[in-house]
Structure 1
């Protein structure tokens, strides 16, 4: 059997409700040769059983399941999937995404047009069909400060809110929910840094790819739908995810800016934690919202610098 052109790598965690639609969209739209591996980090068997049912009528080669014994985290799961595949290009997809066209072929056209491109991201649409702002500049302390204070909603120094996401553009980072990378370029920088359990792994990857002279491109001719965060959006885990995101942010700054950078971000994180804990606590009382209270609990943990208790 010849080597496939594209290897899809999908890391799942409690994704039984969305994974079949994701795999079916790959099968429906991908015209070129491909393979797809699902690395299942779920603590139970529901996602694995769902994938196995999908595989029953397939050849067992194009689509494969790799059930892990533990939750490896996103970065380690991606590396594991990449090692288990052979395609010239790696297409990382979240399990709550669906291709809306032959996105892989469209992004390969980007690499053909821009040979220095080493990571390409598609236009990502939410469930209501509205394009999502997925491009950002790389984080700096000043950009994170503006973002934490809510000023970046207008300034756009970090989140690039003034970019329409309707035309191709070279950027500094793109969302990891859908990301195409040449295999050689991926392993040239040793893949994703597995010290990032979840969050900031794609930010770190984009930075390292750029440091090697590569270009990061947003390519809207490729289209993907993203339901956004179905593995981590339950109210019961929202507080922990708020905390983990900021811990990953601190880890990123320690890696790239040393102890002073980590200290600066820790101060910003704690200031943000205090301010948002106060606001969300008040909103939770006024609106009687369990979601607001859970978010407030997460930001209190950020302010205190300790993980929230379950």
Structure 2
């Protein structure tokens, strides 16, 4: 099997990361001589010492190490640091796997992903089936974000979703391996040649949308992106970021990342179209709620304002023009 390095980016989630390392400890042989590197994004809360101590105490130092960074540059930034370390290794590395700190890797998950990549030479990226804490499964194989997908997201109308099924981002994961547009970065493996051809992840994304961007660029370059449900990983989604807490106001970096993705791949006009279609869809949804024809969902606080006003302000201040288009060097 191909040699695989795993990169875990930690930011103030030391206990979760240690649990993830513990789940990997029985699957070290499946790395084919590779290693696990935990990149600490300048947590400043004692995470680094806790991680060093856990690795020494549990006898994991033969296959795991900690890489402290001097600033928190975000998810892509931390992963890029780990990826560079992997590719600079004296030992040959076939694959690099990205793994969230809030994951528990089920038995055989690494072997299934690496085996799939070994057997599919045009597969550049593959992702696992993600299990949630309740025992259900998350959507981990996605279609690409587009202006029409934003209309569907805003409207939350089953009939419209069926009409726009080719554009609905969050599809049912399924039980068979299949190609898709992008897979969740919570558990994602990439071929070395893809990284060498594409360059690093775009660390202009602080958090969110970076894996969608990387997968989509890889597809446009001719590589295949696959969902592999034989590889199963438990993902405590939101445990590391709090993104699932609906009552909280969503962090500005989510809106920044969404804006960056749409401008990068569709231009400023595409961002405006996406926002317009989302607003139209959301208006119909709110009208249905007002008429008691739908159930009001719990959006993050100030969600509509933060999304629409944030993008308008970025356009009026000219910040969107500094976002590189796809194919340009970020």
Q: Flag whether TM exceeds 0.5 (same fold).
A: yes
Q: Distance in 2 between matches of 1:100 and 1:147?
A: 32
Deviation per residue, 1:261-291 (Å, 9 max, x gap): 12223434666788999999xxxxxxxxxx9
Q: Distance in 1 between matches of 2:24 and 2:138?
A: 21
Contact 1:107 1:222 in 2 (8 A): yes
Unmatched tracts of structure 1, length 5 or more:
281-290
TM-score, normalised on structure 1?
Answer: 0.84
Q: Distance in 2 between matches of 1:119 and 1:262?
A: 27
Secondary structure of 2:44's counterpart equals coil
Q: What CA RMSD, in Å, does the superposition of the two structures yield over aligned residues?
A: 3.0
Contact 1:98 1:224 in 2 (8 A): yes
Moved more, 63-72 or 73-82: 63-72
Unmatched tracts of structure 2, length 5 or more:
290-296, 314-330
Contact 1:88 1:183 in 2 (8 A): yes
Aligned to 1:11: 9
Aligned to 1:77: 78
Q: Distance in 2 between matches of 1:273 and 1:143?
A: 13
State whether structure 2 residue 302 is matched by structure 1 residue 297: yes
Aligned to 1:252: 261
Q: Distance in 2 between matches of 1:147 and 1:169?
A: 24
Contact 1:30 1:104 in 2 (8 A): no
Equivalences for residues 8-47 of structure 1 within 5 A: 8-32=6-30, 33-47=33-47
Deviation per residue, 1:125-162 (Å, 9 max, x gap): 0012212111111111111211222136943432353x
Total equivalences in the alignment: 292
Secondary structure of 1:31's counterpart equals helix
Seen in structure 2, the aligned counterparts of structure 1 residues 109 and 236 have a Cα distance that, compared at 3 Å, is: closer
Q: Distance in 2 between matches of 1:16 and 1:212?
A: 36
Aligned to 2:121: 115
Q: Distance in 1 between matches of 2:255 and 2:288?
A: 18
State whether structure 2 residue 226 is matched by structure 1 residue 221: no
Q: Distance in 1 between matches of 2:307 and 2:287?
A: 12
TM-score, normalised on structure 2?
Answer: 0.79
Aligned to 2:294: none
Contact 2:133 2:236 in 1 (8 A): yes
State whether structure 2 residue 151 is matched by structure 1 residue 145: yes
Aligned to 2:293: none
Q: Distance in 2 between matches of 1:300 and 1:66?
A: 39
Seen in structure 2, the aligned counterparts of structure 1 residues 52 and 231 have a Cα distance that, compared at 3 Å, is: same
Contact 1:104 1:180 in 2 (8 A): no
